Structure 1
């Protein structure tokens, strides 16, 4: 490991004699910049066609069913849910079923959201602790082309910034199925800085026939910020707590046979409890940027996907537990220089993270009562990374960047089965580079290539005995590499049209290996994907705008396997999103948005495919003096399409012991109206 750090440090030193015109990591601006949606001109600023900035004005314009859907502002990203509203969403991007976050990295106020070696899934990303009204902007990047992003960023990353000050406001939302949300937020000058405080309370019964979802959610945020020295200091405290009953996906045959309604449940005792508490601090200037954070996270989740397949007597309900503390830090140095008349810019940084997982467990249960332990572990997992990225302004039109990154991981697993305990370590070097050419005032072309990776669940690296069957199994690698490249084109005419086009390729050495729902290893094959993405935003006039985002993807395994096809299960080949917005200085504003998902592959032979799915959401706001009234209509056309589909074997009472392979679906929530009244003071 030492030699790799020396190499990276040496290259960083050499590159101190080379570097950029704008910050290659888009993270070192001292002054606060107000971003108004997609009207931001990224020509000469972005290093690829598939990165962008989403401002708070745009976030306020779009209706959201759940907080996690805020990621759908990223072109081509799809956010769904297969279970209760209190758990992490299901994410899709660039042909990947990202599950609950693997291969897409998310950060809030400099804190990583993805959970390593999590009880429910590797890279678990629950964004329920975000209050959308307090997000200042979202910086997103698709592809592993930036050196400051490491674990889980093979497909891309998103960084959520928080507001330093906000409008004083009390907001009450009421809606169908006993939806209730109360938000109180405000800020004031405190000494030399700003103190922001917000509280969000939410309750929701849901539209389900057999359960009351009984969402009981609370979010609290307190943030102090001030200009300190030659930089900006920020201290943030966040607290989140939630409990819920869940409506899991159900087999199609149960609905067709009339055993349950399409909105019904076969196990009415599943659900969960989740909490997250964090304290973070940041300081940044033109030259330095630093983050410190401490996070306490817990999840207790009960699920039942196969009913009576594994346990005909007591049923297949199981409990997943995750209880951890996370500590981390990041420090980076940023500088400019001139060398032989060439403008250069550099960022060199170090990142450290420690996950102290007191318990990550899997238990067989019945009506939330524990019957037996499948496996119970504690994990200490550490990582350190050194990264360097530099940019070179070759000419007025040509700009290049190069990045190097080295990550080193150490994991120690203490299991209730001695043969599954142990320690593993691994390191990985990643190289990233790109070049752009602005061949006209309104046009810029890009080429980028990069290596990325994701970590696997630490339990998968030390397991020798299957905890369910007792059979011997093969351990897996701690780190899995990826390679990607992209050709891009961007057009911005400064008045009416913003268009970006990307043709991309991504290869992964192995799909996600550890299956949290089963508690076993399930190694899969190498895969590759390529696709094309188009994002176009057109301002009809100063008031009206329309946008279209289209993503087409081809996903295949590149290794053959006995009795398996080469289609990647769960891959989403087509995503189309369109929106119409009226936003002016007049009292009223209007937003209508359509999302269409193509037929999705459900098995490796592509014999089972989900139906296409289309939803339309609409929102209307009216401002009167200090009052604001808003109406949101979610699933405007009352579509009964599926939110998500799977194909696997399950067993209902009285069915054959081997079960029946069937499509399992979670429906879209029916048309939902929500009315909001807000007062600003």
Structure 2
């Protein structure tokens, strides 16, 4: 759990200046001029609060005396590098499963963004969960494949210093996509020793990671890392994954008082085995790990440069960050198989953009005369200049038709004011408000039925936030009670907000709002019943105005209707000794559309997982042996609105064993899917055709119709991977 401490102590202050700031925060502007106010406000009171002790960042540790700290809700926390060190991972993005209740899967190749699930949301590739890495937003707006596309395949898990997460819509600093929650991932600034790690395993898996850091002088440190990964996977059609990754980080000081400049380079090329009709496997038309389309997959790149700066002084702390990202994707998929004929229904989704932005914030401590209030004011700016985003019909990765091609410029500005006040030793509150404004323009570049689309659109929203904390009380060791309420949003694809015609057939298209509002509330409790045991329980609810999503496979925005969700989460972290960590989480949720589907009368939200559970063990006493065990359970979920079709529940386990040969050499063995469970990573319900069905003309396959049924992507079988690390 991450928070800011409230340092005590009186100090001189300027009451007139304080009142001016509070009045300004209460009157949020309604245009892009709000950015100017927020930027100026961070410097408006240089002498205000002089003499107050420097603002300190606090990360709650494992000592039971320090488990309560100063949290804003029962469902926030920090995952440390030590917790990730013994976690067996099939894919880099699985570090997100350290967020209690989150599930990470894949329904295509390992170069494509993962599928995420949390709090009754099928987050698709990230549409309702906001993630940043070294201060850079990862979610892509108006993306070729899906809104909020969150590709974390560039992560290097060994270099992650922390994953700070917050669920719900209760943080004033959280903007677009942070409806179910969000996470901030940071990298280390130094390494204890440089190292080279070699990995190899089944299915032609191989990996090389080299990393190290050095002090350039008394203040400057340089960290560098390079990674090369290849993998064919268990698929009948080899994946041929080739991933190249690099990081260079120059830093000085700490995250609270210093700076870091981070450059990252990532490229990937792969062949994918998409999800397939389950009947194609059961009939023997294809193997369990077979594929329908011979050349799906893609290429992607992400080059970024980011700078972060923080300075603490007598009155508080100032933070500033800026970033620029060059991103591209060519994704080839044939999820429907052979509806139109034996040439297949492969399409390409292409995205080429430059993303840039930054953040500036200032926090002040107001001292005991203002009830130890912490006042924070911040501004965020982001622009995506999408030179070309398109959907094309293809055969064997060669374009045969332009369905739609557009140019988009999307600019988002957010400003926020946040206060935390300690009214009594047992009562504190958090009150915040956030204002967001988005301006965007789309221009049609190609497509027979697309040229009438495009234009300018804009939207804005004010999002209030409120939190109340009671405690700590001497109950079950230490106990705090939380109540949270707030509003947030996710944006929709600009092409849906400016649409006039369906690019597939020219029929009229209904425009959708650029911003979709979300509202949520939560009650929670956090306690330390025993030394080393931190437990939290939360009951939450969420209302979303629309499940609207951009369907990249068709080039249109599909309305899904308003939805309601509620659930219960129980999370536990137990460290009875310094060498043993046990974490256990259970999450239950219920997701329903507000109105029934007019076609079938159902109200269930497809692919909303109602029950998940996980158990993890991490053992490392610093001796020869160390390791970790992870168990995960996924309950059955509805595949369509009536609930008649459900997925199959399953559990699986991953194991990591490590042995230190010497101080310089250690070896690890990862056993992924330890008990070789035969299950599906993901299941859908929808229309598709196999090659055999198209040849036989079954159900209209091959001539424009499809057969509805279960679409699956099998769980990878038991896989062994060996790693050898040499420290220098």
Q: Shorter-chain TM-score category?
A: over 0.9
Counterpart position of 1:200: 227
- Partner deviation per Cα, 1:252-292 (whole Å, 9 max, x = no partner): 11111110011100112100101000011110123100010
Counterpart position of 2:552: 516
Q: Is the 8 A contact 2:61 2:67 kept in 1?
A: no
Q: Is the 8 A contact 1:613 1:643 kept in 2?
A: no
Give secondary structure in 1 for the equivalent of 2:158.
Answer: helix
**Residues 644-653 or 51-60, more deviating:** 644-653
- Partner deviation per Cα, 1:438-484 (whole Å, 9 max, x = no partner): 14241111000110000000000111110111101111000000000
Counterpart position of 2:109: 84
Q: Shift of the alpha carbon at 1:339?
A: 5.9
Q: Closer, same or farther in 2 for the Cα pair 1:481/1:42, shift >3 Å?
A: farther
Counterpart position of 1:273: 299
Give me the whole-angstrom Cα distance separating, in 2, the residues matched to 1:496 and 1:38.
6
Q: Write out aligned runs for 1:132-171 (5 A).
A: 132-166=157-191, 167-171=193-197
Q: Write out aligned runs for 1:53-72 (5 A).
A: 53-72=78-97
Give me the whole-angstrom Cα distance separating, in 1, the residues matched to 2:32 and 2:242.
47
Equivalent of 1:437 in 446, 454, 470: 470
Whether 1:49 aligns to 2:74 is yes
Counterpart position of 1:677: 724
Give secondary structure in 2 for the equivalent of 1:68.
Answer: helix
Q: Closer, same or farther in 2 for the Cα pair 1:196/1:38, shift >3 Å?
A: farther
**Residues 428-437 or 219-228, more deviating:** 219-228
User: TM-score scaled to structure 1, two decimals?
Assistant: 0.94
Give me the whole-angstrom Cα distance separating, in 2, the residues matched to 1:563 and 1:436.
45
Whether 1:234 aligns to 2:250 is no
Whether 1:422 aligns to 2:469 is no
Counterpart position of 1:585: 622
Equivalent of 2:336 in 297, 303, 306: 306
Q: Closer, same or farther in 2 for the Cα pair 1:225/1:7, shift >3 Å?
A: closer
Whether 1:259 aligns to 2:289 is no
Give secondary structure in 2 for the equivalent of 1:656.
Answer: helix
Counterpart position of 2:689: 651
Counterpart position of 1:184: 210
Q: Shift of the alpha carbon at 1:539?
A: 3.0
Q: Write out aligned runs for 1:583-662 (5 A).
A: 583-623=620-660, 624-652=662-690, 653=694, 654=696, 655-657=698-700, 658-662=705-709
Q: Write out aligned runs for 1:214-613 (5 A).
A: 214-227=240-253, 231-286=257-312, 287-309=317-339, 311-338=340-367, 340=369, 342-415=371-444, 416=446, 417-441=450-474, 442-493=478-529, 495-564=531-600, 565-613=602-650
Aligned length: 667
Q: Closer, same or farther in 2 for the Cα pair 1:173/1:297, shift >3 Å?
A: same
**Residues 619-628 or 339-348, more deviating:** 339-348
Counterpart position of 1:131: 156
Q: Is the 8 A contact 1:30 1:284 kept in 2?
A: no
Give me the whole-angstrom Cα distance separating, in 2, the residues matched to 1:38 and 1:675.
34
**Residues 619-628 or 424-433, more deviating:** 619-628
- Which consecutive residues of structure 2, in runs of 5 or more, have no partner in the other structure? 1-27, 46-53
Give secondary structure in 1 for the equivalent of 2:366.
Answer: strand
Give me the whole-angstrom Cα distance separating, in 2, the residues matched to 1:57 and 1:361.
42
Give me the whole-angstrom Cα distance separating, in 2, the residues matched to 1:457 and 1:427.
15
Give me the whole-angstrom Cα distance separating, in 1, the residues matched to 2:373 and 2:59.
26
Q: Closer, same or farther in 2 for the Cα pair 1:162/1:228, shift >3 Å?
A: closer
Q: Closer, same or farther in 2 for the Cα pair 1:401/1:6, shift >3 Å?
A: farther
Q: Is the 8 A contact 2:62 2:532 kept in 1?
A: no
**Residues 291-300 or 542-551, more deviating:** 542-551
Q: Shift of the alpha carbon at 1:498?
A: 1.0
Q: Shift of the alpha carbon at 1:319?
A: 0.4
Give secondary structure in 2 for the equivalent of 1:394.
Answer: strand
Give me the whole-angstrom Cα distance separating, in 1, the residues matched to 2:540 and 2:509.
36
- Which consecutive residues of structure 1, in runs of 5 or more, have no partner in the other structure? 18-27
Give me the whole-angstrom Cα distance separating, in 1, the residues matched to 2:186 and 2:663.
29
Q: Is the 8 A contact 1:44 1:438 kept in 2?
A: no
Q: Shift of the alpha carbon at 1:514?
A: 1.6
- Partner deviation per Cα, 1:378-401 (whole Å, 9 max, x = no partner): 100001111111100011111100
Q: Closer, same or farther in 2 for the Cα pair 1:229/1:650, shift >3 Å?
A: closer
Give secondary structure in 1 for the equivalent of 2:512.
Answer: coil
Q: Closer, same or farther in 2 for the Cα pair 1:341/1:647, shift >3 Å?
A: closer
Q: Is the 8 A contact 2:63 2:531 kept in 1?
A: no
User: TM-score scaled to structure 2, two decimals?
Assistant: 0.88
Q: Shift of the alpha carbon at 1:42?
A: 4.7
Give me the whole-angstrom Cα distance separating, in 2, the residues matched to 1:374 and 1:274.
21
Give me the whole-angstrom Cα distance separating, in 2, the residues matched to 1:228 and 1:490.
29
TM-align CA RMSD: 2.3
Q: Closer, same or farther in 2 for the Cα pair 1:198/1:3, shift >3 Å?
A: closer
**Residues 277-286 or 435-444, more deviating:** 435-444
Give me the whole-angstrom Cα distance separating, in 2, the residues matched to 1:302 and 1:174.
28
Give me the whole-angstrom Cα distance separating, in 1, the residues matched to 2:430 and 2:68.
15
- Partner deviation per Cα, 1:631-677 (whole Å, 9 max, x = no partner): 11000000111000001011222222122111010011110111111
Give me the whole-angstrom Cα distance separating, in 1, the residues matched to 2:228 and 2:465.
43
Give me the whole-angstrom Cα distance separating, in 1, the residues matched to 2:66 and 2:207.
35
Q: Shift of the alpha carbon at 1:202?
A: 0.3
